[in-house]
Amino acid sequence: MGNFRRKAAFVSVAAIAAMGLAPSVGMAATVAGGQGSAGACQQEDLGTPLYTFLDCTPIQITQEERVYDVKISYQNLSDKPVTVSPQILVESPDGGPFLAPSDVWLRRYDAATGQWQHAWLGTQTGTLFTRIPNHGQQLGAGDSLEADYQLVVKSRNAFSALIQPKVVVYNSHAE
C-alpha cells in the first residue's frame, strides 16, 4: 500500500454518573430553516432510549494522512455494572460527496486472536458506521473497555471526512 504516514489518536471516555449510566440523551427536536414553513416540533414521550452515545474526540481526515489508528477506551467509574460497545462513524464532508463503504477500509484488532479483522461498515445518508451489537460487553465497577481500530483511506472522496469514535452505553432495558 506504499509508505503512508500514520496518524494515531487516543480516545478516552469515563462514565461518572452516580447511577452508573451515562448522561441522558436530550429529547429536544430542532427544525432547520429554509424554504417553506416549519411549525414547532413536539417530542413524543418514548421513555428511556435504548442507548446513550458518548462522543469521543473526533479525528479529521486530511489529504496528507492515509492510515488512522483509533483507540477507544472507556472505564466504568460507577459502583454498578454497565454494558457498553465501541462504535465508529465516518461522516462525509459537509460539501460532499457522500461516502460509500468502498472509500475507506476499517479493521478492528481482536486481542483474543492477536489479529486484525475487517469491520463491516453500514451507510446512511453519507455516514458510514459500525453496527451496534444486540449485546455489548458488561463492565463491572472499575472495569475498562479498550478497542483498537485502523482506518485506511482508499478514495479521495474521504478527504475532509470526520472519524467520530463513540462509546455506546446500553440503558438497563436494552439488554
- Is residue 44 classed as helix, strand or coil in its secondary structure? coil
pLDDT of residue 34: 31
Q: What pLDDT is attached to residue 108?
A: 96
Supply the Cα-derived Rg of the chain in whole angstroms.
Answer: 18
Residue of 153, 148, 129 lying closest to 67 (CA atoms): 153
pLDDT tens, 55-77? 999 999 988 788 999 999 999 99
What pLDDT, on a 0 to 100 scale, did the predictor assign at position 13? 40
In percent, how much of the chain has pLDDT > 90?
55
Going from N- to C-terminal start, the domains of the chain cover 6-21+50-174
> What are the tens digits of pLDDT across the range 125-142?
889 999 988 889 999 999
What is the DSSP pairing of strand 127-129 with strand 82-91? antiparallel
Dist. CA 156–CA 161, nearest whole Å:
10
pLDDT of 88 higher than 70 = yes
Q: What is the mean pLDDT of the chain?
A: 77
**CATH fold group of domain 6-21+50-174:** Jelly Rolls (2.60.120)
Res 55: pLDDT: 94
Q: How confident is the model at residue 47 (pLDDT cuts 50, 70, 90)?
A: low
pLDDT above 90: residue 21: no
Q: Do 19 and 125 contact (CB within 8 A), yes or no? A: no
C-alpha cell of residue 127: 455516514
More confident site: 38 or 86: 86
Per-residue pLDDT tens digits for 96-113:
889 999 999 999 999 999
| Vertex 55: Cα angle to 52 and 57 (nearest 5) | 165
